[in-house]
Structure 1
Amino acid sequence: MSSPVPQPSTLAEPAAESTSRRRSAGRGSLLLALASGVLGAAVVLLASGKTWQEGSAPFAAGGMPVEVSGQQVTGVPGALALVGLAALVAVFAVRGAARLLVGGLIALCGAGALAAALLSLGDTSALDAAAATASGLSRTTVTGASTSAWPGVCAAGAGLLLLAGAVALLRARTWPGMSNRYGRATPNGARSTRPTRAAASSAGEGRPEDLWKALDRGEDPTEAP
């Protein structure tokens, strides 16, 4: 008694489900990297323009209030945020190992911005310089220095950028590229939309009419060639 012939749809179901899961996971990681990267860079740039430190510069019989922004304290976070944002866009234009390099660059930008924001918490050199400028005395030291919450906000944004880089390092190989829809690359660099001979052959082997023709010839279509 001949064994039942498996239906093409039954054979394709596991592969289709596996492909669907991979695509879904790729889309999820892509959205996570984009959201965290763009939001993180925006937060860093916003926080860098806000007041980070305040104090008082001795002047005459009293004091003169002075303050400095994040850009005055350190320009590193803002610059790295711009580089990380550009790298996040560039990750779609490259493939393979280049994507890992770009993902690493994004992670380094986030880590550098985070370190710069945290190191600025105990540094009042920019505030002292502002106090010296305000008072006209080169050796003036600010008094009553205080730090706002914006350096912490900047560090949080840098952490999001670091997260985007980590996700890119782990999952960027599963993300689509800009040129995927133009088809297969040919040796001369052109794009071809026609399927390869092997793909066309495998696509036709599982058609119902081919299975019935094989049975008519007395062949068992379930056996490997």
Structure 2
Amino acid sequence: MVGCVSVVPPPRTDDAAASGPDPAAGRDQAGGRRSVAAALLLGALGATVVLLASGRVWARGTAAIGGGSLPLSADGRAVTGVPAALAIVGLAALVAVFAVRGRGRLLVSALLALSGLGAALAALAYADGREALDAAAARTTADTAARVAGLTHTAWPYVTAGGAALILTAGVLALWCGHAWPAMGGRYERDGGRAGSPSRRAAVVDPDRPEDLWKALDRGEDPTGTP
């Protein structure tokens, strides 16, 4: 079971630091990392499966031409381009989940889940492939009334739907646990970086060293003031 907990450790008090590491906090962080890793793995794997399976042959048949028959086949993208397109949307949403926070993350997570759901439904709805093969038969025979015969199917539409289900699972996981995940480029304050921390107060500015003056100004301090 993947835990939906924060992977960002909370600030520790002096008492907590003195008592050593908190086992419960360590377990929570490990659970949070697992949820992040699971969503990334499921989303990336699912999109890869959908893109690869969409390029495989989904249906085969024959078209009558000149007293004989011509074998025809249609891959997933010829049958429907929806799963592949939604897989790309899902990949973009998977990355965007970690670039936003709050309500934005909720919306992007929903988009991730919906892209997986839509890709799965499209793969199952067009698994027959007859329409694409009939169109291929009409083009091949130059007869708009031509229809494909001997229609057979492969398992690739269902593999595509399975990959889309992985994207959907990643989206549901992001909806459920995403509030506790970190965001890219987020800066977490450290005790030593706060304005009132002992390390900042203990900083000594040498007026004879210009570089110290500039560093103090960068930190927001008045290098001419007295301690």
Q: What range describes the TM-score normalised by the shorter chain of this pair? A: 0.7 to 0.9
Deviation at 1:162, TM superposition (A): 0.5
Taking structure 1 as reference, are residues 30 and 57 closer, same or farther at Cα in structure 2, changes over 3 Å only?
same
* Residue matched to 2:105: 99
In 2, are the aligned partners of 1:183 and 1:193 still within 8 Å (CA)? no
Larger proportion of helix:
1
* Residue matched to 2:153: 147
Q: What is the one-letter code of the residue matched to 1:195?
A: R
Deviation at 1:195, TM superposition (A): 2.8
* Residue matched to 2:163: 157
* Residue matched to 1:183: 188
Deviation at 1:183, TM superposition (A): 3.4
1:62 aligns with 2:68: yes
Q: What is the one-letter code of the residue matched to 1:194?
A: G
Q: Tell me, what secondary structure is at the counterpart of 1:122? A: coil
In 2, are the aligned partners of 1:66 and 1:134 still within 8 Å (CA)? no
Deviation at 1:167, TM superposition (A): 0.6
Deviation at 1:9, TM superposition (A): 5.6
How does 1:38-187 map onto structure 2 within 5 Å?
Answer: 38-180=44-186, 182-184=187-189
Question: TM-score normalised to the size of structure 2?
Answer: 0.75
> For 1:159 and 1:135, how far apart are their aligned partners in 2?
38
> For 1:55 and 1:114, how far apart are their aligned partners in 2?
24
Extract structure 1 runs of 4+ deviating beyond 3 A: 7-13
1:148-200 deviation line (CA, Å, top 9, x unaligned): 111011011001000110111111112122123x335xxxxxxx982365xx5
Deviation at 1:26, TM superposition (A): 1.0
In 2, are the aligned partners of 1:66 and 1:130 still within 8 Å (CA)? yes
> For 1:162 and 1:178, how far apart are their aligned partners in 2?
22
RMSD: 2.3
In 2, are the aligned partners of 1:55 and 1:146 still within 8 Å (CA)? yes
Q: Tell me, what secondary structure is at the counterpart of 1:30? A: helix
* Aligned sequence identity (%): 45
Deviation at 1:100, TM superposition (A): 1.2
In 2, are the aligned partners of 1:113 and 1:155 still within 8 Å (CA)? yes
Taking structure 1 as reference, are residues 147 and 106 closer, same or farther at Cα in structure 2, changes over 3 Å only?
same
1:194 aligns with 2:193: yes
Deviation at 1:124, TM superposition (A): 1.0
Q: Tell me, what secondary structure is at the counterpart of 1:57? A: strand
Q: What is the one-letter code of the residue matched to 1:135?
A: T
Q: How many residues align?
A: 184
Deviation at 1:24, TM superposition (A): 1.0
> For 1:193 and 1:76, how far apart are their aligned partners in 2?
52
1:24 aligns with 2:23: no
Deviation at 1:67, TM superposition (A): 0.7
1:4-49 deviation line (CA, Å, top 9, x unaligned): xxx9469856x83332222111100011000010000000000111
In 2, are the aligned partners of 1:109 and 1:162 still within 8 Å (CA)? yes
Q: Tell me, what secondary structure is at the counterpart of 1:53? A: strand
In 1, are the aligned partners of 2:59 and 2:129 still within 8 Å (CA)? no
Gaps of 5+ in 2: 1-13, 199-227
Instruction: Name which of structure 1's ranges 75-84 and 57-66 shifts more when overlaid on structure 2.
Output: 57-66
In 1, are the aligned partners of 2:74 and 2:129 still within 8 Å (CA)? no
Question: TM-score normalised to the size of structure 1?
Answer: 0.75
